[in-house]
Structure 1
Amino acid sequence: MTALSQARQPIEIEGKLGVAPVKGATTIWQGALVVAESALAVPGKTATGLIVLGVAEETVKNTGGDGAAKVKFRRGTFDFTNSAAADEITAGDIGKDAYIVDDQTVAKTSGTNTRSVAGKIMSIEGGRIFVRVGF
């Protein structure tokens, strides 16, 4: 490919929405944290090596094999439930990483290297933890 010799109109996608194939026999609820595990979408859970995709736009029940259904997800800053008191996120943690406990809960630590990073803690309001996910 050569350099431009005239103006062009580039195609832009916002990058906030995406679609991913869902692991077989898996349900992802609307509003759940969606992660990729072995290239397939699953609900957030305690495990290492997960890649956060975003938050599910709709409920998807894949009753077939791997990839038989797809989930739409959105990247952004969303509210999650705070972990138990022993690993609770506090105001001093804003700007730090939050770690995945399950598809709606985040924690302050990696749980002795058993959890994947969910995203950056952006704020805490009314007991809800707002985390920037999918970037």
Structure 2
Amino acid sequence: MAALTKDRNTPQRLGEVHNHPVAASSVIFAGSIVVLDSSGNAEAGSTATGLKAVGRADQHVDNGAGSAGDKAIDVRKGTFLFANDGSIDRTDIEATAYIVDDQTVANTDDTGSRSAAGKIVDVDVDGVWVKFD
């Protein structure tokens, strides 16, 4: 492609909600942490390496009997409240939260066994507020 020589109407996405194909044999519950696997397919957050956290599931999608991409899920960016595994306190604000499971985060990668969830923006009695960019 060459550089522009006239005005261009460039399409825009607001970036709050993205739709991703769901991995084979995966069930993702509404409100859960959603990650992309090494093939770029969505699955529920879990203790594993190499996962890319993309946000919170907007709906329940059951692709348990399907192949990768048979179903898709809307995933929302933003700041959401998740369960604290007990390791996170207010000194961890602005640090990285790590995925324990689809609803729980921790303050360490557990010697390299957990993928990053997002940034810890607050901690309160209800859990940990995690920002997904």
Name the SS of the counterpart of 1:120 in structure 2.
Answer: strand
Question: Who is 2:122 aligned against?
Answer: 123
Partner Cα distance (1:118, 1:83) in 2: 13
Question: Who is 1:43 aligned against?
Answer: 44
Note the alpha carbon deviations across 1:18-46, whole angstroms, 9 max, x for none: 11111122110000100011221110000
Alignment CA distance shift 1:7-1:67 (3 Å)? closer
- The percentage of counterpart residues that share the same residue type is 40
Partner Cα distance (1:27, 1:4) in 2: 45
Aligned-residue CA RMSD in angstroms?
A: 1.4
Shift of 1:2: 4.2
Q: Does 1:96 align with 2:98?
A: no
Partner Cα distance (2:5, 2:57) in 1: 42
Partner Cα distance (2:45, 2:121) in 1: 19
Q: Which one-letter code corresponds to 1:33 in the other structure?
A: I
Q: Which one-letter code corresponds to 1:66 in the other structure?
A: A
* Count, aligned residues: 131
Q: 1:82 aligns with which of 81, 84, 89?
A: 84
Q: Which one-letter code corresponds to 2:70 in the other structure?
A: A
Partner Cα distance (1:12, 1:71) in 2: 20
Note the alpha carbon deviations across 1:36-77, whole angstroms, 9 max, x for none: 112211100001110011111100001211211111100111
Partner Cα distance (2:42, 2:56) in 1: 11
Question: Who is 2:14 aligned against?
Answer: 14
Q: Which runs of 5+ in 1 are unaligned?
A: none
Note the alpha carbon deviations across 1:65-114, whole angstroms, 9 max, x for none: 12111111001111100013xxx100000000000000000001111111
Partner Cα distance (1:26, 1:6) in 2: 46
- With the length of structure 1 as denominator, give the TM-score of the two structures: 0.89
More divergent stretch after superposition (1-10 vs 115-124):
1-10
- With the length of structure 2 as denominator, give the TM-score of the two structures: 0.91
Q: Which one-letter code corresponds to 1:94 in the other structure?
A: I
